[in-house]
A and B are shown apart, each in its own frame.
Chain A
Amino acid sequence: MAAQDNAIELKNITKRFGSVVANDKVCLTVKKGEILSILGENGSGKTTLMNMLSGIYFPDEGEIYVDGKEVTIASPKDSFALGIGMIHQHFKLVDVLTAAENIILGLPGKEVLKMDEVRKKIKGLVDKYGFDLDPDQKIYEMSVSQKQTVEIIKVLYRGANILILDEPTAVLTPQETEKLFAVLRNMRADGRSIIIITHKLHEVLSLSDRVAILRKGKYIGTVETKDATSESLTEMMVGQKVDLDIKRSAPKDLTRRLLVQDLTCVNPENVMTLNHATFSAYGGEILGIAGVAGSGQKELLEAIAGLERTTEGSVMYYPPEGIGIDLATKDATEIRNLGIHLSFVPEDRLGMGLVGSMDITDNMMLRGYNNGRNFFVDRNTPKKLAEDLIRRLEIVTPGTTTPVRRLSGGNVQKVLVGREISSNPTVLMVAYPVRGLDINSSYTIYNLLNEQKEKGVAVICVGEDLDVLLELCDRILVLCGGSISGIVDARTTTKEEIGLLMTKTGKEKKDE
């Protein structure tokens, strides 16, 4: 039978959540010994499909074949028994246990636990595929990439022949990503099948043998990677041609807007989250901020916006007219009352930047509601602004009275960015501006940022996709463990250089 070449075959899989069809008659085959990428925009149904293979969801319709036999996967246990192992985006490890203890956790065993044998078996896997792991290291001492290694070995230890990785590189530096890919290639050579969910095109192109594309819950097709290009894949993903160029103009008329000196923040547990950060931001350029998640990006932006208490240092703000003001000692209310046009698009859009249950008009009002001495609010101006933004940014919404929570991620972000830009800022800070957005919305946002830069605004952009930061920004500031490990010219630097800077202080600390 020809089906014997296929590790997994999905036929007409449909999954509905209420009225939403997450997967609509999806067909997919995974061959033995190949790396298959599943590509699709957010909400295209990639994770739902994989969750049905790992037993978390049960399909409403359709059949699943493993090694040519039709199977029913009703629970994660069934999935394990079939040799399918999934590595989720969020790790499920016990912090106080060692790597080896986590790996055997939950497995049936004899009365006496022979840790030596376990270690030997783990060592075997580590050597075979080229992992880098000490089985006796505790989880809480590990970096994110080491934790991921534990998760991968955990499923291999259980005998998984088919590995599913859900956006495994989202949390890794470029060097760590390369290491992971090398390991995955070794596994492929050993005959295992690997499914990798991602939306980073260049990773798809460099790693996988074939690419399956989903769009809005529908299966679009599978192509051989060698026949594909970024453009052709994007077209399949989006359903139309998309211009993937970010138009970066040369910065001109640079004027200093922010001078941050020795800025230091301490969290309630007395851990230093931002360590003597010193840099300048200029009007007319985009300053990118790169770093592994949780390296102090949030604290840095919030300290400037007056939302995070600072223990040391200063944030000098230079308005177009007048003298510099130190913002480090001021809170958001004082900064607002000084009339400083500091716009901030926070990471948590619905929990901080907007009020999810309020409509677009009321959300427009958030910034300016307090203007004037009137006891009552003026809803006419924000309503006009809302209508204007809906038209200009092509926000898809039934109207200005729809709660923003009901809008899609991209439209929510357009509402937020649109509002922040509408106040004619001198400094615009954005955190992860395109996270969760589809490609078209992402490019709308990039264009808006570039427009602001050309208007002379000092744009500060925290990002996670280094390829985008390199294309979009003029300079890139790299954070590592709360300290600035370098500021580089985005036009001349490389991903590798930034990757090294992202882990710089971490290594220095260990050497001490």
Chain B
Amino acid sequence: MSSIHISKRDGMPFAKALMIRLIGVLLSLVVCAVVIVALTKLNPVEVYKAIFSGAVGTSRRTWVTIRDSLILLCVAIGLTPAFKMRFWNIGAEGQVLMGGCVSAAVMIYGADHFGTAQLIPMMVVGSIAAGMIWGLIPAFFKAHWNTNETLFTLMMNYVAMQIITFCIVFWENPAGSNTVGIINSKTKLGWLPALSGLTYGWIVVVVLFLTVAMFGYLKYSKQGYEISVVGESENTAKYVGINVKKVIMRTMALSGAICGLAGFIIVSGSSHTISTSTAGGRGFTAIIVAWLSKFNTFTMVVISFFLVFMEQGAGQIASQFNLNENASEVITGIILFFILGSEFFVNYKIQFKKKEEGGHTK
């Protein structure tokens, strides 16, 4: 009889851990290939090529992929301080929506009075404030009455969606379409301008700045230290005199603010419209990004790029091979499964032991 022993590792050299993860990705591609052949009879290499070309095949496609991954990255960065504090903020969706909603409102109502140079700062401030409020409400209740933040933030998402639905009634364009349409499509007022020729230049600058800033904030600032202590042990935090209520509210204000800003980036820099699907599930996908990266904002750059890359590729294989878009979700799912699986092998050691069976009986 042989037995399997699973025990936790004490740590692993970085290179070895990277190797395990790479092997995981390679294995996942092999499994995907088998699945592709089994289900569609297509040549898997062709399918992989199509995913590539869909995501980065042309310069336009590449930029769309970059833009969308930066937006996803922005939401993930917003979630990070909350998660680091063990505050399960699954309300990024709503915080993004509220930021986008305020941005759209400023664009619509401000178009007759202001130019883009005035509109943008107003939109930024408004969206940050809106996201902040949306994050602060559950934080306030958590801090004072210890309500469950998971349910609370989740429900705030639906409230945000209802508010958008309500606003669309007023902002409908054209009338009767039940959509807002492209806001200021002729004047482009309130649209995020290009930066030295790059359409999405500002998005790149802002989000990469946030990536670096959040990394430093969590690692080197006193507030970041307080977040870690509160997250690891609220008792310890109280013991050393950290004001736990204040930290919870401050951190969620920050988390919501960045998510709200992401809403601004979507509306002003990408979609130029608002609907209940403006956030598009990014608030939830960002949770995967944050966790897979173990809250390291630089790793998040890679992960969000990968997820958006697969998403863009999905569209391509759907049209090129006449497949359902779900086909690529299957591929993404398999790859994610292997990546998560390799984390297990990085953290745990498995030993196979042969045990001789003695004839001990009573």
Contact = CB atoms under 8 A, between A and B. Distances in A.
A335 B241 contact: yes
B236 A353 contact: yes
Contact of B220 (A19, A305, A355, A377): A377
Interface string A296-335: 0000000001110000000000000000000000011111
Interface string B214-231: 000000111101101100
Contacts of A332: 238-241
A362 B240 CA distance: 13
Contacts of A356: 232-233
B360 interface: yes
B125 interface: no
Interface string A118-134: 00000000000000000
Contacts of A337: 241
Contacts of A352: 233, 235-236, 239
A215 to B, nearest CB: 24
A18 B225 contact: no
A471 interface: no
Contacts of B361: 72
Contacts of B232: 355-358
A335 B351 CA distance: 52
Contacts of A374: 222
Interface stretch (A177-185, A258-266, A282-290, A364-372): A364-372
A375 B241 contact: no
Query: Among the interface residues A335, A348, A352, which one has the most CB atoms of the partner chain B within 10 A?
Result: A352
Contact of A351 (B7, B233, B242): B233
A266 B277 CA distance: 51
B222 A370 contact: yes
A346 B222 contact: no
B360 A70 contact: yes
Given A70-B360, A375-B221, A377-B222, A18 B5 contact: yes
A355 B236 contact: yes
Interface residues of B, number: 25
B362 interface: yes
Contact of B239 (A18, A353, A375): A353
Given A70-B360, A366-B240, A355 B233 contact: yes
A331 B242 CA distance: 10
Given A18-B5, A70-B360, A370-B222, A336 B240 contact: yes
B239 A346 contact: yes
B225 A369 contact: yes
B324 interface: no
Given A18-B5, A335-B241, A358-B228, A366 B236 contact: yes
What range describes how many residues of A lie at the interface? 35 or more
Nearest to A78: B362
Contacts of B360: 63, 70, 72
B41 to A, nearest CB: 47
A408 to B, nearest CB: 15
Given A332-B241, A335-B241, A376-B221, A355 B229 contact: yes
A52 interface: no
B243 interface: yes
A348 B235 contact: yes
A402 to B, nearest CB: 10
Nearest to B216: A376
A375 B222 contact: yes
A370 B220 CA distance: 13
Query: Among the interface residues B223, B241, B360, which one has the most CB atoms of the partner chain A within 10 A?
Result: B241
A334 B10 CA distance: 40
B80 to A, nearest CB: 17
Contact of B238 (A18, A71, A307, A370): A307
A480 interface: no
Nearest to B223: A375
A307 B7 contact: no
A355 B236 CA distance: 7
A219 interface: no
A212 B168 CA distance: 81
A333 B241 contact: yes
Given A19-B7, A333-B243, A375-B221, A366 B238 contact: no
A211 to B, nearest CB: 30
A376 B224 CA distance: 9
A346 B362 CA distance: 49
A353 B233 CA distance: 10
Contacts of B236: 351-355, 366
A80 interface: no
A367 B240 contact: yes
A331 B238 CA distance: 9
Interface string B183-223: 00000000000000000000000000000000000001111
A348 B223 CA distance: 25
A8 B220 CA distance: 60
Contacts of B233: 351-352, 355-356
Contacts of B5: 18
A377 B225 contact: yes
Nearest to B229: A355
A70 B362 CA distance: 7
A344 B362 contact: no
Contacts of A70: 360
A377 B221 contact: yes
Contacts of A375: 221-223
A189 B188 CA distance: 99
Nearest to A70: B360
Nearest to A20: B7
Contacts of B243: 333
Contacts of B225: 362, 365, 369, 377
A336 B241 CA distance: 6
Contacts of A365: 225
Contacts of B235: 348, 351-352
Nearest to A352: B235
Contacts of B7: 18-19
Contacts of A353: 236, 239
A334 B220 CA distance: 25
A346 B221 CA distance: 27
A96 B8 CA distance: 41
A344 B239 CA distance: 9
Contacts of A18: 5, 7-8
A356 B238 CA distance: 15
Contacts of B239: 305, 307, 332, 344, 346, 352-353
Interface string B343-362: 00000000000000000111
A115 B183 CA distance: 84
B222 to A, nearest CB: 5
Contacts of B229: 355, 358, 366
A72 B357 CA distance: 13
A62 to B, nearest CB: 11
26 contacts: A18-B5, A70-B360, A71-B362, A72-B360, A72-B361, A305-B239, A307-B239, A332-B239, A333-B241, A333-B243, A335-B241, A337-B241, A344-B239, A352-B235, A353-B239, A355-B232, A356-B232, A356-B233, A362-B228, A366-B229, A366-B236, A369-B225, A375-B222, A376-B220, A376-B221, A377-B222
Interface of B: 5, 7-8, 10, 220-223, 225-226, 228-229, 232-233, 235-236, 238-243, 360-362
Top 5 A-B residue pairs of the complex, sorted by shortest distance between their CB atoms:
A336-B241, A18-B7, A333-B241, A332-B241, A72-B360
Given A307-B238, A333-B241, 6 more contacts: A72-B362, A335-B241, A352-B239, A356-B233, A358-B229, A369-B222
